[in-house]
Structure 1
């Protein structure tokens, strides 16, 4: 069904009536239907009118001033928006990072790129990468008036910054990606900045660095943690080794008990950080999703001409990007958006289409998993050649690094990037819930003509061979005593809402896509394209007293939209 909201034809699906069919998959139909728990409605949108230039990436909210801070990576600035009237968000000014003097004597470079923004108690922090991303970057501190207060040097490619709950520390994920030609590969790390009083008094001595060198020095690394690709480490004393260079912190969620969790996306793992000691205490693999299992189907081809969600002999590496944490029965749980990501640089790439990969190194025809699939499947596929047809698995992007038999003669298993889902995990890596094939099924029902569309064109089935709807970011929010996950879909667009009050029986509530496929991408009429960063504004902090608000920054359309989050009582409208 379609609703017109603001000037955009927004697509909405909820778990009532016909949409029960969208939630029914190989696991069987939903028993119910369940009542709608929350409703999303568009309040207002701020437009940069910069199409496909990363003009709205990460968004943070300050409840004291009712301002949003939105990273405009293309301009290397942060735009400050007044959302005291959320129906009419208005730009106030920019936070300019270039030229700010840092405590170590350096100056934030003109060519730096803003990657992240965080706010706590009137202090705004912007993470900025160096012009050469393999060099150390900065975090720049601003006051509420937009005047720069200080800057500190952090690791290479600071990609995400967040404060601990009480603001005692600032945590910065230094991704440490290699150069395009892979001749330089800095180590990944997390900078821990001890916040004490006025940020103008901070010095470089207030920055501690948590690194992964212990795992190069004999600490056992779990076999499920992916460490792969070129090894540029040296044997010189005091230099980082292969593991320290290979692991790339992507996103951080800080708990209230001195522990933070750090996603290592390409490694398909997360690290546990002792904030007080500025040390990693563990690295936990996420494992893989079996797309042969009931409920875990996927559409694997962009050349099959239909929304065809089937079970395939493929493992999906969860590889989340954005995630959040919440407490349940005294335990910390991780809520992950399982985007998937490969190492794909000019000097090295692990990514290849399965058909091309198998042309060079074949699939192992004696693999029990492959043999059983070819003997009994619903698609009528009986040979490897049929399996590798472009309409089946031939075009699926997979990893050349995983699944190879020990002697290198053939591929025993097939590994794709991402889970096309969101998951809930315990802090020791036990998966309590995964949304399975829900995202592809629900979006197929919402708009069959634009299933697995891309975010820069009104296409059909353009992303099935890659990562499907590509869940990018997940945030957790409380509404009237219940807990919800809000998950942004980077490609087709929109936000999925799940009730995760009991993580063992989480369920789909609503999908809203503030996008009009009939309008030309790049125009305001097309709506929001490429949701990248989500922020949930609690009812007590909201610009609408007592009503939560969801803020979504959209990378491709360069727009930032605010959504009202209302509790819906069954039988009452």
Structure 2
């Protein structure tokens, strides 16, 4: 195997990106202030250090806008006791012709206009609580969006002005009238007759952009997320919501409705839904179990609603809303409804492809497994193409196939479109050929590590060497997976960060400069 040693600054690696590289060295005036946050390290494709840019706290994702400009989402997550909560921010990096850092600016959210309902932790300020996570850039590099998952919002970014222009709340879905399963009765039974006052927040994780007829659209995978820290835990079983006297804090109506539907253990946000007397008259859940399309300003124009739940109940009635769990005896598939009281199948991974004149969305379900395919050529009327799932539920999870799609990338190689998927739990990378109709044809899969150790998470593709780059959290490296033979993909090398960083979170690849987002070690 070829090993590329990266020998620079210490930190927890968060993201890696490759873009066009030149190795000529020239003197440059650098405006690159150290603001006490993380860094983006720049390397040539063969692992030679070029320069470092100082960015905000916990840079979670870096993305090239062009060969000379990058944008970085700095999540600013709190300490476990919540005594320290750095501000989330977005950094803009400009490179000189020799790919050294020419200028860096970092913008927080203190003075950014806010529209809609943005969820903020009680006792926190907006500038501290907003946590930028995932970035989508439009086709011409003029506009970007950043997901603020915990806050149920997105940030709109003008890349030409290097400015966050707005924070927009995404709203919620009322479960009444949506055919979803909110009970644990052991049946695959999505129903529309859910309690009237139960809602779900979109809370997208992965977001992506595409363009149709000159207009930009934003696609979101609405996974949902909660906060679980020693200093603050916001997700709780509905039946455990108590008032100051120790009795139920739920309204009598909600208590009756939840009991009738066997939904007393529904997971809900403790900081939403109370009236002035502290009584919960509405309940809010994490994630809408769907994917959405929004216009360039973040306005909703399509949501798949309950299509995922209904399809899964029809195709997988014995494994509906299941997941992998484990105990001292090993791993096993939980039964029907294991996820119904929580976030359902958890659509998390997302990739888009343009095949011929059609546009397709590929949405990976983290907990249920499998991939939904939608034709999104008409953003107002997407059409479900298929649900692909080849998990063998009769086997033990370790031998059942590809589990928990975490990262996805589409690409074209030798004129053929492909989808590559990093499957976190099974520690595998799988490769699919895409048909003209968007359907998936699985070609091969390769293992990168041990089961449920985070050995395959985020993935990207470099056409220059026909290589996939995959974050391996177990071995603290980026694995290089060759796709030169699509029917037998294989590990051909790796980039080892373990000497200089604590962990890896994401990777992105383009052309020949490597940009690595790292946070400082404690």
Is 1:436 matched with 2:305? yes
Provide the C-alpha distance between the structure 2 equivalents of 1:122 and 1:511, rounded to a whole number of angstroms.
39
User: Which secondary structure does the structure 2 equivalent of 1:467 belong to?
Assistant: coil
Quote the residue 1:307 is aligned against. Answer: 188
Quote the residue 2:154 is aligned against. Answer: 270
Quote the residue 1:486 is aligned against. Answer: 362
5+ residue gaps, structure 2, are 23-34, 326-331, 440-522
| 8 Å CA contact 1:211, 1:279 repeated in 2 | no
Quote the residue 2:180 is aligned against. Answer: 298
Equivalent of 1:248 in 127, 131, 148? 131
Equivalent of 2:51 in 150, 154, 157? 150
| 8 Å CA contact 1:94, 1:146 repeated in 2 | no
Is 1:222 matched with 2:123? no
Is 1:191 matched with 2:76? no
Per-residue CA deviations over 1:163-197 (Å, capped at 9, x if unaligned) read 11x33311111111101110100000111111232
Equivalent of 1:178 in 69, 74, 78? 78
Quote the residue 2:470 is aligned against. Answer: none
Aligned-residue offset at 1:514:
3.9
Is 1:532 matched with 2:406? yes
Aligned-residue offset at 1:93:
4.1
Aligned-residue offset at 1:470:
0.2
Aligned-residue offset at 1:135:
6.8
Provide the C-alpha distance between the structure 2 equivalents of 1:463 and 1:501, rounded to a whole number of angstroms.
31
Provide the C-alpha distance between the structure 1 equivalents of 2:73 and 2:90, rounded to a whole number of angstroms.
5
Matches for 1:24-423 after TM superposition, within 5 Å: 92-93=1-2, 97=6, 99-100=7-8, 107-109=9-11, 112=12, 114-121=13-20, 136-164=37-65, 166-199=66-99, 201-202=100-101, 206-215=103-112, 219=113, 221-231=114-124, 242-255=125-138, 256-293=140-177, 296-301=178-183, 303-311=184-192, 312=194, 313=196, 314-357=198-241, 360=247, 362-365=249-252, 384-389=254-259, 392-405=262-275, 407-423=276-292
**1:252 and 1:95, CA in 2 relative to 1: closer, same or farther beyond 3 A?**
farther
TM-align CA RMSD: 2.3
Per-residue CA deviations over 1:392-433 (Å, capped at 9, x if unaligned) read 32111111111111x133122111110100000112232111
Provide the C-alpha distance between the structure 1 equivalents of 2:213 and 2:107, rounded to a whole number of angstroms.
30
- The two structures have a TM-score, normalised by structure 2, of 0.74
How many residues get paired?
Answer: 413
Provide the C-alpha distance between the structure 1 equivalents of 2:315 and 2:416, rounded to a whole number of angstroms.
27
Aligned-residue offset at 1:390:
8.8
- The two structures have a TM-score, normalised by structure 1, of 0.68
Matches for 1:447-466 after TM superposition, within 5 Å: 447-456=316-325, 457-460=332-335, 461-466=337-342
Provide the C-alpha distance between the structure 2 equivalents of 1:474 and 1:550, rounded to a whole number of angstroms.
11
User: Which secondary structure does the structure 1 equivalent of 2:259 belong to?
Assistant: coil
User: Which secondary structure does the structure 2 equivalent of 1:244 belong to?
Assistant: helix
Aligned-residue offset at 1:358:
5.7
Aligned-residue offset at 1:151:
2.9
Provide the C-alpha distance between the structure 1 equivalents of 2:149 and 2:415, rounded to a whole number of angstroms.
36
| 8 Å CA contact 1:362, 1:411 repeated in 2 | yes
| 8 Å CA contact 2:115, 2:166 repeated in 1 | no
User: Which secondary structure does the structure 1 equivalent of 2:312 belong to?
Assistant: helix
Provide the C-alpha distance between the structure 1 equivalents of 2:315 and 2:20, rounded to a whole number of angstroms.
41
Per-residue CA deviations over 1:300-328 (Å, capped at 9, x if unaligned) read 23x31111212323111000000101112
Per-residue CA deviations over 1:451-475 (Å, capped at 9, x if unaligned) read 1121454222221111111010222
Provide the C-alpha distance between the structure 2 equivalents of 1:467 and 1:146, rounded to a whole number of angstroms.
40
Quote the residue 1:9 is aligned against. Answer: none
Provide the C-alpha distance between the structure 2 equivalents of 1:384 and 1:289, rounded to a whole number of angstroms.
18
Provide the C-alpha distance between the structure 1 equivalents of 2:260 and 2:2, rounded to a whole number of angstroms.
50
Per-residue CA deviations over 1:253-301 (Å, capped at 9, x if unaligned) read 11225211111111111111122332211111111111113xx222123
**1:332 and 1:517, CA in 2 relative to 1: closer, same or farther beyond 3 A?**
same
Provide the C-alpha distance between the structure 2 equivalents of 1:361 and 1:223, rounded to a whole number of angstroms.
31
Quote the residue 2:504 is aligned against. Answer: none
Provide the C-alpha distance between the structure 1 equivalents of 2:84 and 2:4, rounded to a whole number of angstroms.
31
**1:482 and 1:569, CA in 2 relative to 1: closer, same or farther beyond 3 A?**
closer
**1:514 and 1:139, CA in 2 relative to 1: closer, same or farther beyond 3 A?**
farther
Provide the C-alpha distance between the structure 2 equivalents of 1:533 and 1:273, rounded to a whole number of angstroms.
24
Aligned-residue offset at 1:336:
0.3
User: Which secondary structure does the structure 2 equivalent of 1:355 belong to?
Assistant: helix
**Larger % of helix: which?**
1
Aligned-residue offset at 1:142:
2.6
